[in-house]
Amino acid sequence: MFDFKKITIIGIGLIGSSFALAMKKQGFKGTITGVGRNEINLIKAKELGIIDSYSTSHTEAVRNADLILLATPAGQFEQIVTAISNDVQKGAIITDVGSVKAEVTDKLDPLMPEGVSFVGAHPIAGKECPGIEAATAELFNNAKCILTPTAKTDSQALSRVKDLWNTIGTDTVEMTPQEHDLVFAAVSHMPHVAAYALVNAVLDTKDDILQYGGKGLKDMTRIALSPTELWRDICSCNREEMLTTLRNFSSSISKMIALIEGSDWDGLEKEFIRANKARQFIESN
Amino acid sequence: MFDFKKITIIGIGLIGSSFALAMKKQGFKGTITGVGRNEINLIKAKELGIIDSYSTSHTEAVRNADLILLATPAGQFEQIVTAISNDVQKGAIITDVGSVKAEVTDKLDPLMPEGVSFVGAHPIAGKECPGIEAATAELFNNAKCILTPTAKTDSQALSRVKDLWNTIGTDTVEMTPQEHDLVFAAVSHMPHVAAYALVNAVLDTKDDILQYGGKGLKDMTRIALSPTELWRDICSCNREEMLTTLRNFSSSISKMIALIEGSDWDGLEKEFIRANKARQFIESN
């Protein structure tokens, strides 16, 4: 089922650990090596049976690996790939789980040593709690995994990475890196920024106002609890598409304002109905 | 505990029915009469022991009542009060549960017959399912109930309505009708319109995009599942404060856009941190 012998996962957090657990659950018989800066975390991961061995040295850990999974924050990928490029064996595949694709792909494609293929991937899975404590072999069950090949991507490497993600339960979809970044700016990155902006707009209205917020406001701003550093990085990595989708949202708000200014209640309800129907579609999916 | 003998509830939906059940649970010994247009619903409410008697005639039902609770959509209050004003007995109190206050109060205050007091109230309670099937005596437990007296409000009537809501478990807070409408525009009405606008902005990005929305987008747009007619009416009843708060939100979004345009990542994260901290405060409350 798996034609890999040694998998090296760089970054042993929620996604990296869950990937390792899912591979083992599906019967992967090779070795899984974990790499990270925090040795205590790596020891724990080994004790929990998530990884078979670990190293704090990237170059040492990638030797003889036939699959290298980048599972750190995407901002570190370029530096990591530059550091390991002399030690990656010919025929190996480097793949990732980053949530932004175009900038990363543009940077990583030219850094690949001869005979080494890069395949961009983004499994749409996560949890509110980070880290290995929250890891589970079921994290990817029925999730989508977006693969973002470019003209430079080796088709055999793409097909092997695709098989891997299908085997551990995801439904793979191919998009260009640019298309991926626009789609996820719209359905994820921009809504996060909008949630932060919404909380701030409520705060600016009146002192002590937050105590009056009910379940609706809580649900709508839950993602403003997300780590601010992560979302700062995503905004910086996906700057253009963030701007496009935030401007679209701003226009959508302006349209509502204009309809209320004009007391056009039929026109306003038409906008509400459009959103309401689409949201029901999300609910049923 | 209760110094009322006959309470008439106009509008036997989730809030009206839950109010009746909560009163009975707290030992109210007088009569509760329900009024509505749908006789089948009223019969059911009587069978379920929610109300003691019912009528489809407003004028008949309010005779001899010492408390009249308006629990229909707020758009109907003016018409109802005009219709009953000759039949309400001297000394009676008319109160309501509407979620918009200033416009309603301006309209109802001058319609009060001599010796009849109006006290505006808004219990902050609700459920996703409407109707008497969802009614429960516990709906108001630990909820806030905003009372919105004006210079015209009789202080004794205010105090009796306050006691009533405290007895059935709410924490009462007094605000002017205008203050109430600004606060609830910010924490509830504007976020609903923003949720509809967000769904539409995502839809406009690309065909078939909604399938990629995850838990974050679902949470953030859950309130776009709310009845569009209700929110159309609230926008119309609270037009000025809706515009104020939507414009504030639009400015908050514009600030985020400017920071991303300027690649001011420190400045952007500062905005995120402000929202993140405030959101944690909501979580802990």
- The per-residue pLDDT for A74 is 87
Taking an 8 Å cut-off on Cβ atoms, the answer to whether A187 and B276 are in contact is no
A169 with A273, same domain: the answer is no
Domain range holding A208?
A: 179-284
Q: Which residues of B touch A213 (CB under 8 A)?
A: 187-188, 282
Asked if A53 has any chain B CB less than 8 Å from its own CB, the reply is no
Which tens digits make up the pLDDT trace of A246-282?
Answer: 999 999 999 999 999 999 999 999 999 999 999 998 8
Helices (H) and strands (E) in chain A, counts: 12, 9
Taking an 8 Å cut-off on Cβ atoms, the answer to whether A246 and B257 are in contact is yes
Taking an 8 Å cut-off on Cβ atoms, the answer to whether A196 and B239 are in contact is no
Asked if B37 has any chain A CB less than 8 Å from its own CB, the reply is no
Residue A1, in any domain of the structure: no
B126 with B217, same domain: the answer is no
Residue B202, in any domain of the structure: yes
Structure tokens belonging to residue A146: 């977006």
Mutate to test the interface with A, among B101, B172, B192, B198 (most CBs of A within 10 A): B198
Asked if A230 has any chain B CB less than 8 Å from its own CB, the reply is no
- The per-residue pLDDT for B215 is 86
Q: Which residues of B touch A274 (CB under 8 A)?
A: 199-200, 203
Range A137-163 burial, b when 16+ CB lie within 10 A, else e: bebbeebbbbbbbbeebbeebbebbbe
- The per-residue pLDDT for A128 is 62
B183 with B230, same domain: the answer is yes
The answer to whether ipTM exceeds 0.90 is no
B31 with B126, same domain: the answer is yes
Q: Which residues of A touch B231 (CB under 8 A)?
A: 272
Residue A32, in any domain of the structure: yes
A184 with A151, same domain: the answer is no
Give the distance from residue A245's alpha carbon to the nearest chain B alpha carbon, in angstroms.
7
Q: Which secondary-structure segment (H or E) carries B8? A: strand B6-10
A199 with A244, same domain: the answer is yes
The more confident residue out of B3 and B16 is: B16
A218 with A146, same domain: the answer is no
B256 with B275, same domain: the answer is yes
- The per-residue pLDDT for A126 is 74
Identity at B65, one-letter amino acid code: A
Q: Which of A198, A217, A231 sits opposite B188 (nearest CB)?
A: A217
HSE, side-chain direction, 13 A CA sphere, residue B62: 27
How many CB atoms sit inside 10 A of residue B6's CB? 20
d(CA A271, CA B201): 11
Q: Which of A144, A205, A225 sits opposite B279 (nearest CB)?
A: A225
Query: Could you tell me the sign of the dihedral formed by the alpha carbons of A234, A238, A242, A243, in that order?
Result: positive
* Mean pLDDT of all residues in A2-26: 95
Please, which residues 143-162 of chain B have a Cβ atom closer than 8 Å to chain A? 144
B55 with B164, same domain: the answer is yes
Which tens digits make up the pLDDT trace of A105-142?
Answer: 999 999 999 999 999 999 998 766 778 988 999 999 99
Residue B1, in any domain of the structure: no
Taking an 8 Å cut-off on Cβ atoms, the answer to whether A219 and B216 are in contact is no
pTM as predicted:
0.87
Q: What share of chain B in percent tops pLDDT 90? A: 87
Q: Please state the domain count of chain B.
A: 2
